[in-house]
């Protein structure tokens, strides 16, 4: 129960881990609630049982585990995390003057020597080690305060975990569509198996189930993708290094969770 309360009360746990797990189950929950009612004793008992047994906490950990596994694959595809990429001399996401300013701040405030462009070309792996060390140190010094960086990190964790849950989400959404069609009498287990004329008299329960399920199918297919995760990852990297000018060594400024 303590873990469950932590998952619900902690903003990162709730928004980046619990919510993706619940969205995956939504197409299954909606037809159940529509068919039996939110106050149905059986549904209430099952909900209490799942909550008490830590099902929500388990969903959050499944989302996190799948997200971390996906992140490893994304790093192989991208070549590094966005926080490393933006510090590279050969990358153009940041303009050269801003990048030089951040490199200088890292040297002065974090005590980590940044490679020159020639050193980066000569040994890219060693240069990335320095960039990674700077990122980790900056994150250590920016924990605690729930600011804009924390918001960006939640957004990154949410999109990463949603992309990781995408196959499961598509499957449950399709199941929701089929449930809605069964409730509306559009499809059945007996002949005729398909009766499209019943779409004209579709009820509220079936209509709501179909609406939610179709919206989720479209969202899974067209919104959650690697480009979106990469874009938000770079946005997080910008917010992280924007902390450098106001950073005093050893002082917690802005939260950055993973």
Query: DSSP code of 188?
Result: -
Q: Which has the minimum average pLDDT: 4-18, 38-52, 157-171?
A: 38-52
pLDDT value at 39 more than 70: no
Which residue, 134, 137, 145, 149, is CA-closest to 232? Answer: 149
Q: Is the pLDDT of residue 81 over 70?
A: yes
Secondary structure of the chain: what % helix, strand, coil (to 5)? Answer: 75, 0, 25
Mean pLDDT over residues 68-75, rounded? 96
Please state the length of the chain. 258
Model confidence at 254: pLDDT above 50? no
Can you give 76-140 as a three-state secondary structure string? HHHCCCHHHHCCCCCCCCCCHHHHHHHHHHHHHHHCCCCCCHHHHHHCHHHHHHHHHHHHHHHHH
More confident residue, 256 or 96: 96
Instruction: Calculate what percentage of the chain has a pLDDT beyond 90.
Output: 54
Q: Find how far residue 150's CA is from the centre of its chain.
A: 13
The alpha carbon of residue 235 and the mean position of all alpha carbons in its chain are separated, in whole angstroms, by 14
**Share above pLDDT 70 across residues of the chain, in percent, rounded to a whole number:** 81
């Amino acid at each position: 129960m303590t873990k469950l309360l932590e998952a619900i009360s902690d903003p990162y746990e709730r928004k980046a881990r619990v919510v993706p797990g619940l969205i995956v189950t939504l197409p299954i929950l909606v037809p159940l609630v529509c068919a039996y009612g939110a106050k149905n004793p059986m549904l209430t008992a099952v909900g209490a049982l799942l909550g008490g047994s830590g099902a929500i906490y388990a969903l959050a950990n499944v989302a996190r585990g799948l997200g971390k596994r996906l992140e490893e694959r994304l790093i192989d595809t991208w070549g590094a995390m966005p926080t490393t990429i933006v510090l590279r001399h050969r990358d153009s996401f940041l303009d050269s003057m801003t990048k030089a300013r951040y490199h200088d701040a890292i040297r002065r405030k974090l005590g980590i020597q940044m490679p020159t462009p020639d050193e980066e070309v000569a040994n890219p792996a060693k240069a990335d080690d320095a960039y990674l060390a700077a990122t980790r140190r900056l994150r250590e010094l920016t924990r605690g305060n729930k600011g804009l960086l924390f918001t960006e990190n939640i957004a990154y964790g949410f999109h990463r975990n949603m992309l990781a849950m995408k196959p499961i989400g598509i499957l449950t959404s399709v199941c929701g569509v089929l449930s809605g069609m069964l409730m509306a009498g559009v499809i059945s287990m007996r002949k005729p198996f398909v009766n499209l004329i019943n779409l004209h008299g579709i009820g509220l329960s079936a209509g709501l189930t179909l609406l939610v399920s179709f919206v989720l199918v479209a969202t899974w297919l067209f919104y959650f993708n690697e480009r979106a995760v990469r874009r938000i990852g770079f946005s997080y990297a910008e917010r992280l290094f924007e902390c450098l000018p106001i950073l005093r060594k050893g002082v917690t400024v802005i939260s950055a969770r993973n």
